[in-house]
Amino acid sequence: MTTTYTALTTLSGKAQADALGAALERMTPEPTGIGVFEMEDGSGLWEVGAYFTDAPDEAALALLAAAFEAQGFVVSELPDTDWVAHVRRELAPVEAGRFFVYGSHDADKVPEGAEALLIEAAMAFGTGHHGTTLGCLRALDRLASDGFVGRTVADIGCGTAVLAMAAARIWNGTVIASDIDAVAVDVARANLRANALQDRVNCVEAAGFDHPALKSAAPYELIFANILKGPLIALAPDLARHNSDKGFAILSGVLNEQADEVIEIYRSNGYSLISRDCIVDWTTIVLQNKA
């Protein structure tokens, strides 16, 4: 079994974190992958990680940590794992109201009458197991059960496009999904094909609403934005402009302790709070525009 390695540290400030990530690229042996992420716990810290196929030079890592005022790197060995097989074993289907999200290995478990959404194990992020996606699917199910029909729907930061697909399953209107990440867009389009929804959902690469297809289809009666607190706050004015009067927004990617701040920002942009639901550490927020 092949052993690979990760090295992780934390430090303050995006500029410092980016600089440390760039310095890691010059190491010998060089890492095969580097990630720089803002931590989601409200601490203001950034995590910098590197992945190595050979044991990293821990003395060099210690020097880099000191030079960039970071915590000491924690180096871990990772055994070679078939992660797709692992996910298939561990990832049970998810039920959220009428929606049933599953992998092909569980095709025999789809309940009769369910709105089934196939997401392969290799594309596991955004399958519905995470509290944010599950919360959005439940919120969509409740809106539909209350009689709302979304004739124009946008899924901003779509990931696997599971939310866009759920809307396209139950309504016949226009559905557009977007993501800032080109890989996510490729994954979303693959999922659309797997669910025979490639002609129902237009998936584009875009930041926020910055794409001609998104602008031309506005205003939207329903907008999903399952991203993070910072981008949600920054997006609020633009989201309100692209949401129809009396239209709904379903927001998530928000830690429970961050929800009040996000709600107040959206209230200041003309929204009324309809509901908020917590699933473990995450809150899903349903709002109505100019209600």
pLDDT tens string 159-172: 889 999 999 999 99
The number of domains in the chain is 2
Task: Using the predicted structure, report yes or no on whether residue 78 has a pLDDT greater than 80.
Answer: no
CB burial class (10 A; 0-12, 13-18, 19+) of residue 39? exposed
Range 151-157 average pLDDT: 96
- The whole-angstrom separation of Cα 70 and Cα 126 is 31
Distance of CA 254 to the CA centre of its chain: 11
Task: Using the predicted structure, report yes or no on whether residue 202 has a pLDDT greater than 50.
Answer: yes
Q: Is the same domain home to 136 and 195? A: yes
- The whole-angstrom separation of Cα 208 and Cα 231 is 9
What integer pLDDT is reported at residue 59 of this predicted model? 94
Q: Is the same domain home to 223 and 106? A: yes
Q: Is the same domain home to 233 and 180? A: yes
What integer pLDDT is reported at residue 232 of this predicted model? 93
Range 2-16 average pLDDT: 87
Task: Using the predicted structure, report yes or no on whether residue 109 has a pLDDT greater than 50.
Answer: yes
Q: Which of 79, 100, 118 is the last residue of a domain?
A: 79
Instruction: Look up tokens 């989601």; give the residue.
Output: 40
Q: Is the same domain home to 45 and 142? A: no
CA torsion sign for 108, 112, 118, 124 is negative
Q: Which of 47, 79, 111 is the last residue of a domain?
A: 79
**CATH at residue 217:** 3.40.50.150
Q: Is the same domain home to 119 and 139? A: yes
Q: Is the same domain home to 30 and 106? A: no
Q: Is the same domain home to 246 and 113? A: yes
Q: Is the same domain home to 201 and 133? A: yes
Task: Using the predicted structure, report yes or no on whether residue 87 has a pLDDT greater than 50.
Answer: no
What integer pLDDT is reported at residue 127 of this predicted model? 46
What integer pLDDT is reported at residue 83 of this predicted model? 44
What integer pLDDT is reported at residue 85 of this predicted model? 52
Task: Using the predicted structure, report yes or no on whether residue 115 has a pLDDT greater than 80.
Answer: yes
Domain that holds residue 27: 3-79
Q: Is the same domain home to 123 and 51? A: no
Measuring CA to CA, which residue among 135, 132, 107 is closest to residue 119? Answer: 107
Query: Considering the chain, what is the average pLDDT of its residues?
Result: 87
Task: Using the predicted structure, report yes or no on whether residue 38 has a pLDDT greater than 70.
Answer: yes
Q: Is the same domain home to 282 and 159? A: yes
Q: Is the same domain home to 114 and 246? A: yes
